[in-house]
Amino acid sequence: LAVRLEVLERNTLEIANWLVDHPLVAQVLHPALPSCPGHDTWARDFSGSTSVFSFIFKDTIAADQVVEFINQLKIFKIGMSWGGVHSLAVVYPDLQRPNQDFGGRIVRLNIGLEKVEDLTIDLAQAMAKIS
């Protein structure tokens, strides 16, 4: 289990960092990233991170484009996860925060044990089809 969790964490952080630099992404919500709200608490209380996180598309991307993004994924399957070995993606309901409406632009990912390069290619090809 420890080996599996290490691989999941490493793969997830690679994907999260790739998303941080993507021009269609407004924010990546992964607690291990310093730019994520709550990072300080995570850094204080945890020594590792999970394979489940979310990202928010920029407001130039409409909710129907986000659904199309999900539908274009080939390796990622559609579904929710708590950290399994298969990569999954789903449009996540907007977070209920005062004065924030993300308009259906939040995607929740679970990064599995597939090759990071394959997952990155899958994400890139799906994003290219909506931009």
**In 3D, which of 38, 19, 10, 5 has the Cα closest to residue 108?**
19
pLDDT at 38: 87
Residue with tokens 């990155």: 120
Cβ-proximal residues to 53 (8 Å cutoff; 6+ apart), any chain: 12, 16, 28, 29, 30, 31, 108, 109
In sequence order, what E strands does 1-131 have?
Answer: 25-29, 52-57, 77-78, 88-91, 106-110
* Structural domain containing residue 109: 2-128
Q: What is the mean pLDDT of each run of 10 residues along the chain (131 residues)?
A: 85 97 96 87 83 94 95 94 86 62 86 96 97 85
CATH number at residue 51: 3.90.1150.10
Q: How many domains does the chain have?
A: 1
What is the pLDDT, as a whole number, of residue 123? 98
What's the pTM? Answer: 0.89
